[in-house]
């Protein structure tokens, strides 16, 4: 008898891609039903805003719709579908959830354990996408790509960008500081090495890869990295230690012409302090991809500064992220069906 599987995707994590990868990995052992939610065309929700969903964040869909769709399925493959304690109790046949994201923040993990449901995730699904985006962000700022584009769109030919005191700098003559040496930070380092820049890394919980050491990458304390870097790029997780790590004190250590890049998480920065530093010329510029509040308010002061580039949390959005996450989920389902241990249990 074929195992019933429910797939709840959206316009990013496409249910048809999940289904194709599941069939490749598992053959004809599955009876699959699919549902496509309307994210990102409609915004996600957070557990604090809905009764019964406390503790969940960044989810899409209602409890009733999800429970009705999953029904008697043993396996759920999803990107954003919520799963609260009450929902687990209404789905006694559910035995496994594959979440196609780095962290299962849309799942009540204690309730999953209490109900004997295995939850797996897809760590590193977008690591390459974010690393490549980070390099693009750095180049867009250091080589004045954004500045030149905005001027032309406004009808101004910025010939002065050829002035030596105005024009951009090459990475080969710069020092780049990478904060966080995990899945994304290590990839950023590898990409930066091709440009010939000096690379500093700070992360109190790691040792550098021998290949990076041989290439001249240096492991230093945070203070030294901030003082010596022309570009500082953030890649740590948000923890009690890292929350607000970029603040008035740490910004004060940076060079007056330095660039701050955040493609990690908004809570790493005190954005009020960053506004002051940018407005008063304490640092040269910033490229911000993630924010503490999303979407950002229309009247947010940082939107008004000329030395800031902002993008709407899209660094991890790539076609390969979709297919890679689906491949990871499919392999986890295959293992579950064969009685093999999960690769990425939460």
Q: Is 241 a catalytic residue?
A: no
pLDDT for the residue 29? 81
Q: Which domains does the chain have, with CATH numbers?
A: 3-125+318-338 (3.40.50.720), 127-310 (3.40.50.720)
Identify whether the C-beta of residue 229 lies closer than 8 Å to the C-beta of residue 255.
Answer: yes
Largest CA distance in the chain: 73
Could you say which of 125, 235, 313, 334 is catalytic?
313
Q: What is the pLDDT of residues 233-281, one digit of tens each?
A: 999 999 999 999 999 999 999 999 999 999 999 999 999 999 999 999 9
Q: Is 313 a catalytic residue?
A: yes
Please state the rounded mean pLDDT for residues 175-201.
98
Cis amide linkage into residue 40, ω under 30° from 0: yes
Q: Is 294 a catalytic residue?
A: yes
Quickly state the pLDDT bin for 293 (edges 50, 70, 90): confident
Could you say which of 125, 198, 265, 334 is catalytic?
265
Quickly state the pLDDT bin for 46 (edges 50, 70, 90): confident
Q: Give the percent of the chain with pLDDT over 70.
A: 100
Could you say which of 294, 320, 340, 343 is catalytic?
294
pLDDT for the residue 272? 96
Identify whether the C-beta of residue 62 lies closer than 8 Å to the C-beta of residue 34.
Answer: no
Is residue 294's pLDDT more than 90?
Answer: no
SS3 content of the chain, % helix, strand, coil (to 5): 35, 15, 45
Is residue 48's pLDDT more than 80?
Answer: no
Q: What is the pLDDT of residues 106-148, one digit of tens each?
A: 999 999 999 999 999 999 999 999 999 999 999 999 999 999 9
pTM beyond 0.75: the answer is yes
């Amino acid at each position: 008898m074929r195992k019933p599987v429910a797939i709840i995707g959206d316009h990013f994590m496409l249910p048809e891609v999940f289904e194709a990868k599941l069939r490749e990995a598992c053959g004809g052992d599955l009876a699959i039903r699919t549902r496509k939610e309307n994210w990102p065309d409609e915004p996600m929700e957070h557990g604090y805003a809905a009764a019964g969903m406390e503790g969940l964040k960044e989810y899409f869909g209602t409890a009733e719709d999800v429970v009705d769709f999953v029904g008697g399925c043993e396996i759920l493959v999803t990107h954003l579908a919520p799963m609260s304690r009450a929902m687990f109790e209404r789905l006694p046949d559910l035995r496994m959830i594959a979440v196609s994201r780095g962290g299962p923040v849309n799942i009540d993990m204690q309730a999953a354990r209490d109900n004997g449901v295995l939850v797996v995730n897809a760590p590193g699904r977008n690591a390459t996408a974010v690393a490549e985006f980070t390099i693009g962000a750095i180049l867009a700022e250091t080589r004045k790509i954004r500045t030149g584009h905005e001027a032309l769109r406004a009808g101004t030919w910025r010939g002065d960008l050829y002035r030596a005191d105005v024009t951009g700098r090459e990475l080969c003559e710069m020092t780049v500081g990478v904060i966080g040496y995990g899945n994304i930070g290590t990839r950023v380092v590898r990409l930066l090495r091709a440009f010939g820049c000096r690379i500093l890394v700070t992360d109190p919980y790691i040792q550098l890869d021998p290949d990076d050491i041989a290439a001249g990458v240096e492991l230093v304390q945070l203070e030294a990295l901030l003082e010596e870097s022309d570009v500082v790029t953030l890649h740590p997780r948000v923890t009690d230690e890292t929350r607000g790590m970029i603040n008035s004190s740490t910004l004060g250590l940076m060079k007056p012409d330095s660039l701050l890049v955040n493609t990690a998480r908004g809570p790493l920065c005190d954005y009020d302090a960053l506004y002051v530093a940018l407005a008063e010329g304490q640092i040269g510029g910033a490229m911000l991809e993630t924010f503490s509040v999303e979407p950002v308010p229309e009247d947010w002061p940082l939107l008004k500064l000329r030395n800031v580039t902002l993008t709407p949390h899209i660094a991890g959005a790539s076609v390969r992220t979709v297919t890679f996450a689906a491949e990871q989920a499919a392999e986890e389902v295959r293992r579950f069906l064969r009685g093999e241990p999960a690769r990425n249990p939460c």
